Structure 1
Amino acid sequence: MLLSQFRRDDGRIQVVAREGTEAYEVATDASLYDLAMHCANNGLVLKDHVIDLGLNSAVDLAALCDEGRVLPPVLHPDHAHLHVTGTGLTHLGSAATRAEMHSRPAQNETDSMRMFRMGVEGGKPANGGPGVQPEWFYKGNGHSLISPSAPLVRPPFADDAGEEPEIAGIYVIDSKGNPCRVGFALANEFSDHVMERKNYLYLAHSKLRQASVGPELLVGPLPASVEGVSRIRRGQQVIFEKPFLSGEANMSHSIANLEHHHFKYEIFRQPGDVHVHMFGTATLSYADGIAPQDGDLFEIEAPVFGYPLRNSLKVEAAAPATERCEVHVL
Structure 2
Amino acid sequence: MRLIQCQHQGQIHAARVENDREVRLLDSDTYTLARRAIVARQSLAEAVEAALTETRLDYSQLIEEKRLLPPLTHPDPAHCLVTGTGLTHLGSADTRSAMHAKTQVAEAELTDSMRMFKLGVEGGKPQAGSVGAQPEWFYKGDGNCVVAPETEIPVPYFAEDAGEEPELAGLYVIGDDGQPWRVGHALGNEFSDHVTERFNYLWLAHSKLRACSFGPELLVGELPAHLEGTSRIVRNNETVWEKPFLTGEANMAHSLANLEHHHFKYPGFRRSGDVHVHFFGTATLSFADGIQTRDGDRFEISLPEFGRPLRNPLRFEANGPATEVRSL
- Asked if Structure 1 and Structure 2 have the same fold, meaning a TM-score greater than 0.5 normalized by the shorter chain, the answer is yes
| Number of positions where the alignment pairs a residue of Structure 1 with one of Structure 2 | 325
Q: Paired residue for 2:12?
A: 13
1:193 and 2:194 matched: yes
1:160 and 2:161 matched: yes
Q: Specify whether residues 286 and 77 from structure 1 end up closer, same or farther in structure 2 by C-alpha distance, changes over 3 A only.
A: same
Q: Do 2:16 and 2:26's aligned partners in 1 also have CA atoms closer than 8 Å?
A: no
Find the aligned partners of 2:183 and 2:51 in 1 and give their Cα distance: 17
TM alignment of 1:109-148, pairs within 5 A? 109-148=110-149
Q: Paired residue for 1:77?
A: 75
Q: Paired residue for 1:275?
A: 276
Find the aligned partners of 2:116 and 2:90 in 1 and give their Cα distance: 12
Q: Paired residue for 1:220?
A: 221
Q: Do 1:24 and 1:56's aligned partners in 2 also have CA atoms closer than 8 Å?
A: no
Q: Do 1:62 and 1:307's aligned partners in 2 also have CA atoms closer than 8 Å?
A: no
Q: Specify whether residues 150 and 138 from structure 1 end up closer, same or farther in structure 2 by C-alpha distance, changes over 3 A only.
A: same
Q: Do 2:99 and 2:288's aligned partners in 1 also have CA atoms closer than 8 Å?
A: no
Q: Paired residue for 1:60?
A: 58
Q: Paired residue for 1:250?
A: 251
Find the aligned partners of 1:206 and 1:313 in 2 and give their Cα distance: 17
Amino acid at match of 2:24: E
Q: Do 1:159 and 1:192's aligned partners in 2 also have CA atoms closer than 8 Å?
A: yes
Amino acid at match of 1:48: E
Q: Do 2:236 and 2:297's aligned partners in 1 also have CA atoms closer than 8 Å?
A: yes
Offset at residue 23 of structure 1 (A): 3.5
Offset at residue 64 of structure 1 (A): 1.0
Structure 1: which 5+ residue stretches go unaligned?
none
**Deviation digits for residues 4-49 of structure 1, max 9, x if unmatched?**
11011x3101221024446333341x21100011112221101111
Q: In structure 2, which of residues 95, 98, 102 is the aligned counterpart of residue 97 of structure 1?
A: 95
Find the aligned partners of 1:33 and 1:172 in 2 and give their Cα distance: 8
Q: Do 2:300 and 2:309's aligned partners in 1 also have CA atoms closer than 8 Å?
A: yes
Indicate the SS of the match to 1:102.
helix
Find the aligned partners of 1:181 and 1:23 in 2 and give their Cα distance: 26
Amino acid at match of 1:315: F
**Deviation digits for residues 152-180 of structure 1, max 9, x if unmatched?**
01100000000000000000000100000
Offset at residue 118 of structure 1 (A): 0.5
Indicate the SS of the match to 1:74.
coil
Indicate the SS of the match to 1:7.
strand
Q: Paired residue for 1:171?
A: 172
Find the aligned partners of 1:130 and 1:20 in 2 and give their Cα distance: 40
**Deviation digits for residues 85-132 of structure 1, max 9, x if unmatched?**
000000000011211233431211100001001100000013442200
Offset at residue 146 of structure 1 (A): 0.8
Indicate the SS of the match to 2:108.
coil
Structure 2: which 5+ residue stretches go unaligned?
none
Find the aligned partners of 1:55 and 1:7 in 2 and give their Cα distance: 15
The alignment yields a C-alpha RMSD, in angstroms, of 1.3
Q: Do 1:151 and 1:312's aligned partners in 2 also have CA atoms closer than 8 Å?
A: yes
Indicate the SS of the match to 2:68.
coil
1:31 and 2:29 matched: yes
Indicate the SS of the match to 2:137.
strand
Q: Do 2:98 and 2:288's aligned partners in 1 also have CA atoms closer than 8 Å?
A: no
Find the aligned partners of 2:268 and 2:230 in 1 and give their Cα distance: 35
Q: Specify whether residues 112 and 20 from structure 1 end up closer, same or farther in structure 2 by C-alpha distance, changes over 3 A only.
A: same
Find the aligned partners of 2:26 and 2:155 in 1 and give their Cα distance: 39
Q: Do 1:90 and 1:281's aligned partners in 2 also have CA atoms closer than 8 Å?
A: yes
Amino acid at match of 2:164: E
Q: Do 2:20 and 2:59's aligned partners in 1 also have CA atoms closer than 8 Å?
A: no
Find the aligned partners of 2:263 and 2:177 in 1 and give their Cα distance: 17
1:2 and 2:2 matched: yes
Q: Specify whether residues 27 and 299 from structure 1 end up closer, same or farther in structure 2 by C-alpha distance, changes over 3 A only.
A: closer
Identity of aligned residues (%): 56
Q: Do 2:31 and 2:72's aligned partners in 1 also have CA atoms closer than 8 Å?
A: yes
Q: Paired residue for 1:238?
A: 239
Offset at residue 212 of structure 1 (A): 0.2
Indicate the SS of the match to 1:88.
coil
* Runs of 4+ displaced beyond 6 Å: none
Amino acid at match of 1:210: A
Give TM-score scaled by structure 2 length.
Answer: 0.96
